């Protein structure tokens, strides 16, 4: 289990090395495009047609990559009320693992849905109105993110499983001493 987690950690470092600068670049690009669009519309009274399409494309990727980074760091929203109502560490670990397993199942469902959406978008050949950008450029962000959600949730599940197993092993060794 530790070797698998080590391999996944190496992959994670590579992904983070790529994703973090992309998020910074997209953030700056979206901010600059929005500021430019507002300036040209409000000051120059000459809107830039198609700029909203680029902002939407950037925002979709930014949102999905941000969600991936939150999943990577396990900093996404969660309702950890079990720790409030229960002080048993084993129960907390098992519930945490169960929540991760449910999230993993949901990520597989999301990946299936987003793949179907992406395949549908490619087959229909829909494009944006002004710039004629294929819609699957933005739809691809959903599928890309869902695959990475699965990767990180699988990593988290393996880690949770290891924690539960090691806690049970420690408990069993403590019982043998008495």
Average pLDDT over the chain reads 90
Per-residue model confidence (pLDDT) at position 88:
83
Give residue 46's domain range.
2-177
Q: Are 134 and 125 in contact (CB under 8 A)?
A: yes
Q: Say yes or no to pLDDT of 140 above 60.
A: yes
Give phi and psi for 49, each to the nearest 5.
-70, 135
In tens, the pLDDT along 68-124 reads 999 999 887 666 777 778 888 888 888 889 999 999 999 999 999 999 999 999 999
pLDDT-wise least confident of 1-10, 69-78, 146-155: 69-78
pLDDT band at 141 (very low <50, low <70, confident <90, very high): very high
Give CA–CA dist 65/76, Å, rounded: 13
pTM: 0.85
Give CA–CA dist 161/108, Å, rounded: 19
- For the chain, the first-to-last Cα distance in angstroms comes to 30
Q: Are 162 and 170 in contact (CB under 8 A)?
A: no
Q: How many structural domains are present in the chain?
A: 1
């Amino acid at each position: 289990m530790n070797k698998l987690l080590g391999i996944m950690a190496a992959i994670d470092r590579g992904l983070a090395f790529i994703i973090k600068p992309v998020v910074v670049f997209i953030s700056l690009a979206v901010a600059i495009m929005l500021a430019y669009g507002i300036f040209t519309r409000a000051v120059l009274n000459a809107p830039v047609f198609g700029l909203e399409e680029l902002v939407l494309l950037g925002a979709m990727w930014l949102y999905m990559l941000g969600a991936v980074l939150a999943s990577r760091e396990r900093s996404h929203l969660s309702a950890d009320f079990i720790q409030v109502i229960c002080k048993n560490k084993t129960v907390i670990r098992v519930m945490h693992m169960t929540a991760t397993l449910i999230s993993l199942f949901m990520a597989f469902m999301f990946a299936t849905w987003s793949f179907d959406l992406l395949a549908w978008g490619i087959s229909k050949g829909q494009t944006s109105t002004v710039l004629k950008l294929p819609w699957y450029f933005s739809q691809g962000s959903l599928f890309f993110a869902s695959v990475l959600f699965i990767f990180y949730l699988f990593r988290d599940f393996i880690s949770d499983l290891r924690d539960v197993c090691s806690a049970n092993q420690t408990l069993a060794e403590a019982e043998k001493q008495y």
